[in-house]
Structure 1
Amino acid sequence: MEYIRVNSIDDPLFAKLHNLMKEVFPPEEVLEFDLWKGPLEDPGIRVFVAVHENEVVGVTEYRYYPDWNIAMTDFTIVGKPGLSLGRFLANKRMEDLQELAGEQGVELFGMFAEIYDPYRKTDHDFGGVKTMDPFVRREVLSHLGYKRLDMEYVHPSWENDGEAVEGLDLCFMPADENTHELPAALITDFLTTYYSVLQKKPEKWNKMVDQLNNKKTVALLPL
């Protein structure tokens, strides 16, 4: 298994990973092909594929923010069962992030992720890929150490149509298991930076940010 970074839409591996995204994720979660040009060329956005027998069988995209010493998992796709892909991608991603944090002279503080709550929204079949089933992924991410932030969460649709995407939790995996809350300002700064590329923000998202601005901390709860 190879772990290969993709940083151009002209890379033949990108077409394969984009097709895999469209097979697995709902349309509002998939950025158009041509709009990936900028993100892939952004040194802060790291897109890696797992290549097995010349096929893209897994993908992970994530970011590291040195100013806050945190990361964000944009998405992880396990395209085929029986290859230990989840473990492979998680381990390789963490190795890369710890190396980036090490360049800053620190150890990674933790990592955000948006995680579907299948107990609230059940209409995502994720292309019929059983390893991507929201019930399975939620438990896997819980085992990895992710915790749910105690807040009602929505995010702007990646179709940039101003619609709110619901049915997810914003979660955080602290490096220190004794971390039980996060500064609300860190969450606000992260979210406003992360979604700055989208011009149209839903009113529910604006209201959520306003509520965060009126808090000092947000608790981390079991996932």
Structure 2
Amino acid sequence: MEYRRIESIRDPLFKQMHQLMQDIFPPEEVLEFDLWKEPLEDPGIRVFVADLEGEVVGATEYRYYEDFNVAMTDFTIIGRDGLGIGPFLAQKRFEDLNALAVASGKQLFGMFAEIYDPYRVEYHEFGAVNSMDPYVRREVLSHLGYKRLNFPYVHPSWHNDGEAVTGLDLCFLPMESISTEVKTELIVKFLKRYYSVLSNKPKSWHEMIENLEAEEAVTLLPI
């Protein structure tokens, strides 16, 4: 298995990756093929696939914010069970992010990720791959060391229609395992940067940010 970066919609592997996304994710979460052109060409957005003899069997998208010294995992896709795709992608992503941090003279502070909470939202269909089941994905993040940030999280819809998406948790993987909290200043700066492309955010998102700004830190809890 090889870890290959995708930087153009003209890459033959991207066509496979986009089809895999459609097979795995609900339709409303899959960006149209042509709309991927700019994200793939953005040097700050890193999209990699797991290439098994010419077949895309997994993928991950993430980004590193040098000024914050944190990363964000946008998604991870396991296309087939029983091939060790999850550990492969996680290890390669970690190596890449560490190299980016070292290149900027730092040691990676941590990584954010959003995760569905199936205990609150019962139905989420993710293809027919058992590894992508929301309960499994949540446990995998927990095993990797992620912890849940203890505040009510609101996710602005990527349709940019002002709708609020709930039923998710914002999680954080601290590189120092003894960490018990994250400064709200970092969380707020990250969320404002990450969602800066969306001009139409829901009122509840702005209220969430205001509530965070009134606190000094957010506790990390088990997922």
Q: TM (normalized to structure 2)? A: 0.97
Kept after mapping to 2: 8 A contact 1:29/1:157:
no
Question: Paired residue for 2:164?
Answer: 164
Q: Distance in 1 between matches of 2:181 and 2:135?
A: 25
Q: Distance in 2 between matches of 1:25 and 1:42?
A: 23
Gap regions ≥5 residues in structure 2: none
Q: Give the superposition deviation at 1:180.
A: 0.8
What is the root-mean-square deviation of aligned Cα atoms in Å?
1.0
How many equivalent pairs are there?
A: 223
1:127-175 Cα deviation digits (max 9, x unpaired): 1221100100111110000000001011111122221111110000000
Aligned: 1:142 with 2:139:
no
Q: Distance in 2 between matches of 1:187 and 1:28?
A: 26
Q: Give the superposition deviation at 1:28.
A: 3.0
Question: Paired residue for 2:192?
Answer: 192
Kept after mapping to 2: 8 A contact 1:30/1:158:
no
Q: Distance in 2 between matches of 1:128 and 1:199?
A: 35
Question: Paired residue for 1:127?
Answer: 127
Question: Paired residue for 1:19?
Answer: 19
Question: Paired residue for 1:77?
Answer: 77
Q: TM (normalized to structure 1)? A: 0.97
Q: Distance in 2 between matches of 1:21 and 1:189?
A: 29
Q: Distance in 2 between matches of 1:105 and 1:75?
A: 27
Q: Distance in 1 between matches of 2:13 and 2:22?
A: 14
Kept after mapping to 2: 8 A contact 1:2/1:50:
yes
Gap regions ≥5 residues in structure 1: none
Letter in 2 for 1:86: G
Kept after mapping to 2: 8 A contact 1:31/1:159:
no
Kept after mapping to 2: 8 A contact 1:156/1:205:
yes
Instruction: Give aligned-pair identity as a percent.
Output: 65
